Amino acid sequence: MWEVIAQLSALTVFLVVGTIGLVFLVLSFSFGEIFHIFDMDTHLDADLHEGGPGFFNLKVMSVLVTAFGGVGALCVSRGFGVLSSSLFGLIGGIALAGIVYYFGRLLYSQQSSSLITSADLIGCKAEVIVGIPAGGTGQVRCLVGESMVDKIARSRDGGAIPQHSTVLIEEVSGESVIVSPWSSLREGRGLFSSSIEP
C-alpha cells in the first residue's frame, strides 16, 4: 500500500483530496439532513454564534477541503513545490470556507429576523381585510417590522367589526388574534388605550 502511495504524484494527491471534498459538498447540499450528523460544530462554537452554521459545519469544511485540493493541484501544475502548494491550498481553502461561513451566517440572520412571534403582534394596529361578523371570525392585516402579516381575527366583545376598520391586536390565541376596534380604544375603553398612539 505504501508503495502505491509513494508512486502517486503530488498533483494526483491534491486532485483526490479536492474530489473528496467536492463529493462531500455535493452530498451535504443534496442530503443535508442525513449528513447533519457529521457536522463537527462544537458546543463552544454554537454558543459563540448563537445558532446558525459554525465554522466546523460540514458544508464549510467541504469547501475548505475542495479548495485546498484544487488550489494545491493548480500550484503543483504551475511548478510549485509540495510544501508551498500545500500552503497556498490551505490559504485558499480557509479564504473560500470563510466566505461560505459568513454567507451562511448572513442567510441565517436574515431568516431569524423574519420570524414573527406572538409577542410581536400584541399591541399592533391592524386593518380588517375580511369583516368580522358578530360572534364569528374575519381577517386582519398588520405591518410588523418590514413584514405584512395576515391573521384570522375575532373581536374581544363578540361584536361585529366591518371591513376596512382599524383595530388593535390585544391577544394571540393559537393561530388567530383577538382584536378591539381602534375607535373604542381611542376613547379610553380598551386594555391598551394608554399605550396606543394618538
Q: What's the pLDDT score for residue 145?
A: 75
pTM of the model: 0.48
118-185 under CATH 2.40.50.140, yes or no: yes
Instruction: Indicate the average pLDDT of the chain.
Output: 76
What confidence score (pLDDT) does residue 193 get?
37
Which regions of the chain carry the CATH code 2.40.50.140? 118-185
Buried b (16+ CB within 10 A) or exposed e, 38-63: ebebeeeeeeeeeebbbbbbbbbbbb
pLDDT of 167 > 90? The answer is yes
The phi, psi pair for 135, rounded to 5°, reads: 75, 5
